[in-house]
């Protein structure tokens, strides 16, 4: 990527974070889903990442779950992103109606818009993130990270916040400009892998399958499995968000989107081997490359494709972002609207999920 392009992306991300840090969400009630049916043709613009943590949209699109559920009245267009802050920029720019993003970008969008822009309407994945390090870097304890050069997929994304929070908890200071006790570079996952191979990075906090790829292809080792930092090992990695404007204007389309989402998650759990094949087919279309089946199988074991947004853990991630100096004080009451999700679940005889007091359910 040219230096000028990188500079523009970093500047844009810093602008999002700076704005988020100056605003506190006002805790407005979640947008009410209208009971009326959608009228006329609907255009639904959906964003997601070509990452294993986004297996639900990749499988759902590959196997036709979304097309079947949305029907002929809805024109679905999709766009892929490297990390959440870029997807959030697209939402703010009016280019997306819904997106699969990490918890912290969802929080940033909610905070920056004073609670107006988005609602989390379902979870999509839990787990599957870790700090990997090169053995040659000599990192045996957290204190050894001082002076090291680490990387994350994008400034302010979920892995970036996790890394900064971990460092802060061990007395190591960082700043959004990449300075402090530990240097943090933000770049795309594929470039991080190459830099690890070349010895130009000491480590990186990554999502799957990049954790498993770094181990298999760059000889890295897992220094911190993020699951060990959470009760029961559960923490949200991916959430499904929709703009409040789209939720209000097209409630039937949103319900059909959630139905496809729930159906895909259930199919993945019931057919793990076939789901891995489907993910690899999707990755080939999106990136022109498939994952090594062994790497894919290893990474798969680290993830839980759950529709539960794990609201309480989401709030803790917001606190971590605040403590890392990336956002100001946050009131997330209103960020969740799980009424559609729970309506779909209960209609199928499945238990409802909790908003944790952070919105309607």
Query: Could you tell me the residue ranges of all domains in the chain?
Result: 3-126+234-360, 129-232
Give me the pLDDT at residue 232, please.
84
Domain 129-232 has CATH 3.30.70.1280: no
- Same-fold call for 3-126+234-360 versus 129-232: yes
| Contact of 239 with 100, CB cutoff 8 Å | yes
| Contact of 13 with 342, CB cutoff 8 Å | no
Q: Is the pLDDT at 190 greater than 80, yes or no?
A: yes
Give me the pLDDT at residue 34, please.
38
Q: Express as a percent the part of the chain with pLDDT over 70.
A: 88
Give me the pLDDT at residue 239, please.
96
Please give the Cα distance from 237 to 85 (Å, whole number): 14
| Contact of 86 with 221, CB cutoff 8 Å | no
| Contact of 62 with 282, CB cutoff 8 Å | yes
Q: Is the pLDDT at 35 greater than 50, yes or no?
A: no
- Tens of pLDDT, residue by residue over 288-346, are 989 999 999 999 999 999 999 999 998 888 887 777 667 666 788 999 999 999 999 99
**Average pLDDT over every residue of 42-55:** 94
**Average pLDDT over every residue of 168-195:** 92
Closest CA to 155 of 9, 2, 19: 9
The whole-chain average pLDDT of the chain stands at 87
Q: Is the pLDDT at 14 greater than 90, yes or no?
A: no
State pTM to two decimals: 0.82
* Neighbour count for residue 172 (Cβ, 10 Å): 18
Strand partners, 318: none
Closest CA to 189 of 60, 317, 80: 80
| Helix H or strand E segment including 160 | helix 158-169
Closest CA to 102 of 134, 130, 125: 125
**88 vs 257, higher pLDDT:** 257
User: Which of these ranges, 67-71, 100-104, 142-146, 241-245, has the smallest mean pLDDT?
Assistant: 100-104
- Tens of pLDDT, residue by residue over 218-236, are 999 999 999 999 988 899 9
**Average pLDDT over every residue of 13-39:** 40
- Tens of pLDDT, residue by residue over 55-110, are 999 999 999 999 999 999 999 999 998 778 889 899 999 999 999 998 888 998 99
Cα distances from 146 to residues 171, 184, 353, in angstroms, run 10, 11, 41
Cα distances from 291 to residues 194, 299, 304, in angstroms, run 16, 10, 19
| Contact of 292 with 318, CB cutoff 8 Å | no
**238 vs 28, higher pLDDT:** 238
Please give the Cα distance from 357 to 343 (Å, whole number): 18
3-126+234-360: CATH, from 3.40.190.10, 3.40.1440.10, 3.30.70.20, 1.10.10.10 = 3.40.190.10
Give me the pLDDT at residue 305, please.
96
CA triplet 280, 234, 55: central angle to 5 degrees? 15
> DSSP letters of 132-145?
EE-GGG---SGGGG
């Amino acid at each position: 990527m040219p230096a000028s392009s990188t500079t523009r992306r970093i500047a844009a991300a810093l602008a999002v974070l700076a704005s988020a840090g100056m605003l506190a969400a006002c805790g407005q009630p979640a947008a009410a889903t209208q009971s009326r049916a959608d009228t006329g043709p609907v255009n639904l613009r959906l964003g997601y990442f070509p990452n294993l943590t986004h297996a639900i949209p990749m499988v759902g699109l590959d196997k036709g779950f979304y097309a079947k559920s949305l029907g002929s009245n809805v024109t679905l267009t999709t766009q892929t992103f490297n990390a959440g802050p870029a997807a959030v920029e697209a939402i703010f720019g009016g280019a997306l109606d819904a997106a699969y993003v990490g918890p912290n970008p969802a929080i940033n969008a909610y905070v920056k818009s004073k609670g107006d822009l988005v609602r989390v309407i379902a979870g999509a994945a839990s787990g599957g993130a870790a700090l990997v390090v090169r053995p040659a870097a000599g990192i045996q304890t957290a204190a050894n990270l001082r002076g090291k050069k680490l990387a994350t997929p994008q400034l302010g994304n979920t892995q970036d916040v996790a890394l900064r929070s971990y460092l802060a908890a061990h007395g190591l200071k960082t700043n959004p400009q990449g300075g402090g006790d530990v240097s943090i570079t933000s770049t795309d996952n594929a470039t991080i892998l190459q830099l690890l191979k070349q010895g130009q990075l000491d480590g990186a906090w990554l999502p799957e399958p990049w954790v498993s790829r770094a181990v298999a292809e760059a000889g890295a080792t897992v220094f911190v499995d993020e699951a060990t930092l959470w009760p029961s090992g559960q923490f949200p990695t991916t959430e499904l968000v929709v703009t409040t404007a789209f939720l209000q204007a097209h409630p039937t389309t949103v319900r059909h989107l959630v139905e496809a989402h729930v159906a895909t998650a259930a199919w993945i759990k019931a057919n793990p081997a076939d789901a891995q094949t489907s993910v690899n087919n999707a990755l080939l279309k999106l990136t022109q490359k498939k994952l090594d089946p062994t790497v894919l199988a290893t990474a798969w074991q680290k993830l839980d494709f759950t529709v539960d947004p794990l609201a309480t853990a989401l709030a803790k991630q917001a606190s971590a972002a605040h403590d890392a100096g990336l956002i100001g004080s946050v009131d997330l009451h209103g960020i969740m609207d799980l009424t559609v999700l729970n309506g779909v679940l209960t209609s199928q005889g499945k238990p409802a999920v909790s908003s944790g007091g952070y919105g309607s359910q």
